[in-house]
Amino acid sequence: MQNLIKYTPPSWASKLRSIPQYYVKLAQRSTPINQWNLQSAFPDRKISNFQIYIKRDDMTGSVLSGNKVRKLEFLLADAMHNKCNLILTAGGIQSNHCRTTAVAARQLGLSTGLFLRCDEDVRSNLQLVGCQGNVFLNSMVESKIYLIERKAQFVPDILPKMHTLAAHLQDTTGDKCYMVPIGGSNTIGLFGYIDCFQELIEQGLFENFDDIVVTCGSGGTTCGLALSNYLTGSKVKLHAICICSDSNYFYQHIDDTLESLQLNHQIKARDIVDIIDGYAGLGYGLSTEEEMKLSYDVSRSTGIILDPVYNTKAVNGMLYEMENNPQRFQGRRILYVHTGNAASDYDIQIEF
């Protein structure tokens, strides 16, 4: 297929198992690294000992912005290579991952079916779903929507539903389905942030930074960065701040990925990343007034927009650790990886 591009991994990743054969061009790569004056947003906070920089992966595109699109370059290429024409994936009702998957798939001539988690009252009254934010964008590219329980987990609950639907569609319409996990977090999507790490190296990561900080929502971006940091022999320390679940869940997710790559006898997740608990707030997709105030102060002072679901919570955690647990960091030159945002995340009104 003309969209498929032969993939060659960085030399330091060339011996990994399950290297994708192809990728498709979706992301605007080589996103910039800029100095980030967070002290201007919080003049009373004791963070002046740190030099903070930001990797602008919120600039990988417009509707396709953020970390999701890097993973989808490999996942959708794999789907096309396997002659699949319908992509199935899952997330919350306003999932950025689902919206990005739906739009990217349509650009490549593929259809999508989205399993969206929501409350019982929404599932029983479809008018409550509305047509705002990502729900609206999903409808614009004619995605099929399947509403499921808010607490549904991917492997035990959602994946069996996907297999049932895929079998039904294969029999009735001839559609061949390709299943993408939540957040695109598997051994194929992993290569989105293996490639990104090579980009960081070329931008002076080893020479200019001591620590990397990133948000952790499904574990795929964290796993890609952590594995890359290990494979290159980097001395940079990686920190990932949980915005849902807890550190044990994400350590297990990374260990499972390492096992799939047959690296589990060499390394363990706890050896290659510091996963930080305590900053999920009210839970996934729920914001406190304090968190929204932080997001507003950052955007007002620095012009960087932080989404409330992922990056606001992560930056909140990073700043607190800098003030109250500075020894957690290896050095004072910090690179924060901004994993993207969408205006649809701000479906609220708040006054300051």
Q: What is the set of active-site residues?
A: 95
DSSP of 276-305, one letter per residue? E-S--TTSTT---HHHHHHHHHHHHHH---
CA-based Rg of the chain, rounded to a whole angstrom?
A: 20
Q: Which residues contact 266 (CB under 8 A, 6 or more apart)?
A: none
To the nearest 10 degrees (0 to 180), the angle between helices 191-202 and 220-231 is: 50
Terminus-to-terminus CA distance in the chain, angstroms? 52
Report how far apart, in Å, the C-alpha atoms of 299 and of each of 164, 282, 294, 312 are. 45, 22, 9, 11
The pair of three-digit structure tokens given for residue 55, joined into one six-digit string: 């990797």
Backbone angles phi, psi at 35, to 5 degrees: -65, 145
Give the integer Cα–Cα distance in Å for 296 and 181.
Answer: 32
> What single letter denotes the amino acid at residue 259?
E
